Chain A
Amino acid sequence: MARLSVRLGDLELENPIIPASGTFGYGYEFADLYDIDILGSLAFKTTTLNKRFGNPTPRIAETASGMLNAIGLQNPGVDKVIEEELPKLKKCFHKPIVANISGFSIEEYQEVARRLDSEEQIGLFEVNVSCPNVSGGGIHFGSDPDMARQVTEAIKKVTTKPVFIKLSPNVTDIVSIARACEDGGADGLSLINTLIGMRIDLKKRQPIIANVTGGLSGPAIFPVALRMVYQVSRAVNIPIIGIGGVSSARDVIEMMMAGASAVEVGAANFADPYICKKIIEELPEVMDELGIENIRDIIGGCK
Chain B
Amino acid sequence: MKQVICKIRENKKIALNTYRMVLKGDDMKQLKPGQFVNVKLEPFFLRRPISICDVKEDELTLIYKAVGEGTKMMSELKEGKLDLLIGLGNGYDLSKSGERPLLIGGGVGVPPLYYLAKKLREQGKEVSVILGFNKKDEIFIEKEFIDLGCKVLVTTADGSYGTKGFVSDVMDEVEYSYFYTCGPLPMLKAVNNKAESEGEFSFEERMGCGFGACMGCSIKVKDGYKRVCKEGPVFERKEILWQD
Query: What residues make up the interface of A, taking CB atoms closer than 8 Å to B?
Result: 22-25, 29-30, 32-33, 45, 53-54, 57-67, 69, 71, 74, 208, 218-219, 267, 269-274
Contact = CB atoms under 8 A, between A and B. Distances in A.
Contact of B213 (A25, A53, A60): A25
**Majority DSSP secondary structure for residues of B touching A:** loop
Given A57-B206, A218-B45, A71 B213 contact: no
Nearest to A32: B1
A160 B108 CA distance: 55
Contact of B215 (A45, A218, A272): A45
A271 B40 contact: yes
A6 B2 CA distance: 31
Nearest to B230: A29
Contacts of B44: 62
A271 B216 contact: no
Interface stretch (B6-14, B170-178, B217-225): B217-225
Task: Sort A-B residue pairs by CB-CB distance and give the 4 closest, nearest first.
Answer: A25-B213, A60-B216, A270-B209, A58-B206
Contacts of B218: 53-54, 57, 59, 74
Interface of B: 1-3, 40, 44-47, 85, 205-220, 225, 230
Nearest to B210: A270
Contacts of A30: 213
A218 B212 CA distance: 18
B211 A67 contact: no
A270 B214 contact: yes
Contacts of B205: 57-58
Contact of B206 (A24, A25, A61): A61
Given A61-B206, A274-B3, 11 more contacts: A25-B214, A57-B219, A59-B208, A59-B216, A71-B214, A71-B215, A269-B209, A270-B46, A271-B45, A273-B3, A273-B85
A69 B206 contact: no
Contact of A271 (B46, B220, B225): B46
B45 A25 contact: no
Contacts of B210: 270
A134 to B, nearest CB: 13
B215 A63 contact: no
